[in-house]
């Protein structure tokens, strides 16, 4: 049995598991029709979409996406009201009912052990005429159901490969491959193996346009024209780094395939001594900004953490601190961790002035610094005035304490930081004992 067959055996739903899912799905579709009838809402069509409808779901995942399609002529208000009415009627038999929001509200419920989304949408005539973002999904569903038969197992293996290598999922935290994108790749390349083989030679700017109907230029590293909508890049959410990482893991897998790619061992949290050894052997300076993580969904929290990491890097670089690496982590607390060449700089800072021959500026520069207490020395270098002056922030900590609040941060993190933060450095970082944080630190040990 090949490695991939072994993997498939672990992830393919059994006939019983499948039968169960199909029964529950039918029940739910029926309940949607019944609810509509009961409420006197006409013209809707219930649809099962997503991986459950396409036979591309991995054993153990019990997600059902039930769409409630309204005629295109329905007003948005009517769709929202009547959609939620139907969903709430169905939800009466579920648990943990939660109203969620995409472009418009929908319900997430637990029903007989399944995680069910009940999503109103417009039944438009083509994916290029959608009225709401979710309207596209039924078209994706039709296209995959039509094209995938016979290759479902390859999708399963690929999804597991991506999960194991951290490249699966198009949400903002991961910025990897969506289920639909994975399915399209398998359809395009024909099989798991052939996809892997081809990815090894991917280069940025690659366009996959199966129907040869793409009509827009995209700047993304990978462009996969949506078979159901020529204007859309299915891979728009894929970050350049995940694109690169996927190429890298496909090559490594080709060179030396192993089960580890699909089912990696969970990393051990680093021990205190390991962390201190790691820092000492690198000899660089570690500094962490710690604050209470606001209670937000991942798709809002992680982009803001990402933005904050960039702002902090820019702030440090502006004040001459040289950055080696950085990262962020969040649970109850959020941590932005930065590794610097040094967290201390000499008191003196070289401040470049205007060229001597620009009379006005030259006069202003000389007047400003000549008799300043901040001046060490002033001289001319390659025609420019240079003032060696006292550095405002000789340590990264002082800089962050004084200037973090004026960084450009996302709305929620800006508030969180304003409420208070602490800066911890070096060995003190081991006071953060959360095992997940200690796992996150392994990226300094063995690569991201």
Q: By the criterion CB under 8 A, which residues form the site for its own copies?
A: 200-204, 221, 240-241, 243-245, 247-248, 251, 281-285, 320, 324-325, 341-342, 345-348, 350, 355-357, 359, 362-363, 376-385, 388, 394, 443-448
- Judged on CB neighbours under 10 Å (0-12, 13-18, 19+), 168 is buried
User: Smaller CB distance to its own copies: residue 262 or 385?
Assistant: 385
139: tokens are 């078209």
Q: How far is the CB of 391 from its own copies (least distance, A)?
A: 8
User: Smaller CB distance to its own copies: residue 210 or 362?
Assistant: 362
Using alpha carbons, select from 215, 188, 216, 219 the residue that is nearest to residue 204.
219
How would you list the strands of the sheet with 422-425, edge to edge? Answer: 323-330, 333-340, 285-292, 422-425
Residue that has been written with the tokens 């024209």 in this structure: 225
Q: What is the CA angle 130-131-134, rounded to 5? A: 70
Query: What 3-state DSSP class applies to 192?
Result: helix
Binding residues, by number, are 51, 54, 63, 65, 117, 140, 159, 168
User: Smaller CB distance to its own copies: residue 7 or 345?
Assistant: 345
In sequence order, what DSSP letters do the residues of 35-88 get, joined into one string? Answer: HHHHHT--S-EEEEESHHHHT-PPTT--EEEEEEEEETTS-HHHHHHHHHHHHH
Q: How far is the CB of 279 from its own copies (least distance, A)?
A: 10
For residues 272 and 399, give the distance between their C-alpha atoms in angstroms, rounded to a whole number.
27
Using alpha carbons, select from 324, 270, 313 the residue that is nearest to residue 289.
313
What are residue 118's DSSP bridge partners?
66, 107
Binding residues for ATP, by number, are 51, 54, 140, 159, 168
User: Smaller CB distance to its own copies: residue 213 or 350?
Assistant: 350
Q: What is the CA angle 389-390-392, rounded to 5? A: 125
Q: How far is the CB of 223 from its own copies (least distance, A)?
A: 15
Residue 219 exposure: Cα atoms within 13 Å on the Cβ side? 0
User: Smaller CB distance to its own copies: residue 55 or 242?
Assistant: 242
Q: How far is the CB of 235 from its own copies (least distance, A)?
A: 15
Ramachandran assignment for 40, one of left (phi > 0), alpha (psi -120 to 50 degrees), beta (any other)? left
Q: Which helix (H) or strand (E) holds 439?
A: helix 435-440
For residues 366 and 18, give the distance between their C-alpha atoms in angstroms, rounded to a whole number.
80
Binding residues for Mg(2+), by number, are 63, 65, 117
Q: How far is the CB of 404 from its own copies (least distance, A)?
A: 24
User: Smaller CB distance to its own copies: residue 246 or 421?
Assistant: 246
For residues 147 and 185, give the distance between their C-alpha atoms in angstroms, rounded to a whole number.
12
- Distance from the Cα of residue 307 to its chain's centroid: 12
User: Smaller CB distance to its own copies: residue 376 or 405?
Assistant: 376
Q: How far is the CB of 267 from its own copies (least distance, A)?
A: 13
Binding residues for CTP, by number, are 51, 54, 140, 159, 168
Q: How far is the CB of 392 from its own copies (least distance, A)?
A: 13
User: Smaller CB distance to its own copies: residue 160 or 284?
Assistant: 284
333: tokens are 């607390």
User: Smaller CB distance to its own copies: residue 104 or 251?
Assistant: 251
Q: What values do phi and psi take at 336, rounded to 5?
A: -105, 120
Q: How far is the CB of 401 from its own copies (least distance, A)?
A: 20
Q: How far is the CB of 244 from its own copies (least distance, A)?
A: 4
Q: What values do phi and psi take at 124, rounded to 5?
A: -85, 170
């Amino acid at each position: 049995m090949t490695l991939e067959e072994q993997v498939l055996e672990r992830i393919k739903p059994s006939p019983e598991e499948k039968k169960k899912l199909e029964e529950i799905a039918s029940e739910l579709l029926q309940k949607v029709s019944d609810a509509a009838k009961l409420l006197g809402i006409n013209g809707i069509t219930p649809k099962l979409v997503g991986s459950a409808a396409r036979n591309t779901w991995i054993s153990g995942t019990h997600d059902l996406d039930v769409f409630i399609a309204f005629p295109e002529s329905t007003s948005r208000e009517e769709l929202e009201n009547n959609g939620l009415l139907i969903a709430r009627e169905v939800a009466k038999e579920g648990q943990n009912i939660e109203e969620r929001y995409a472009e418009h509200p929908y319900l997430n419920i637990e029903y007989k052990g399944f995680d069910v989304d009940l999503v109103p949408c417009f039944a438009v005539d083509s994916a290029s005429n959608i009225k709401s973002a979710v309207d596209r999904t039924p078209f994706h569903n039709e296209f995959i159901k039509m094209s995938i038969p016979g290759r479902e197992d390859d999708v399963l293996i690929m999804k597991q490969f991506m999960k194991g290598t951290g490249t699966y999922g198009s949400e903002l935290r991961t910025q990897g491959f969506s289920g639909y994108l994975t399915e399209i790749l398998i359809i395009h390349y024909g099989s798991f193996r052939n996809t892997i083989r081809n990815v090894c030679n991917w280069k940025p700017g690659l366009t996959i346009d199966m129907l040869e109907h793409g009509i827009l230029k995209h700047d993304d590293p990978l462009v996969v024209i949506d078979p159901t909508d020529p204007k859309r890049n299915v891979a728009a959410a894929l970050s350049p780094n995940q694109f690169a990482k996927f190429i890298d893991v496909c090559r490594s897998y080709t060179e030396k395939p192993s089960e580890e790619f699909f089912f990696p061992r969970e990393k051990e949290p680093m021990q205190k001594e390991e962390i201190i050894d790691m820092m000492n052997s690198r000899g660089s300076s570690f500094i962490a900004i710690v604050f209470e993580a606001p209670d937000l969904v991942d798709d809002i929290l992680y982009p803001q953490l990402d933005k904050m990491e960039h702002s902090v890097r820019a702030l440090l670089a502006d004040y001459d601190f040289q950055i080696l690496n950085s990262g962020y982590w969040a649970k109850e607390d959020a941590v932005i961790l930065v590794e610097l060449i040094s967290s201390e700089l000499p008191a003196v800072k070289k401040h470049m002035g205007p060229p001597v021959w620009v009379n006005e500026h030259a006069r202003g520069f000389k007047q400003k610094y000549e008799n300043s207490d901040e001046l060490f020395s002033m001289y001319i270098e390659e025609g420019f005035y240079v003032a060696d002056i006292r550095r405002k922030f000789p340590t990264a900590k002082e800089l962050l304490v004084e200037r973090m609040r004026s960084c450009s941060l996302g709305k929620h993190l800006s508030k969180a930081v304003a409420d208070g933060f602490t800066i911890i450095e070096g060995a003190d970082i081991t006071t953060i004992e959360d095992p997940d944080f200690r796992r996150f630190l392994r990226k300094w040990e063995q690569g991201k």
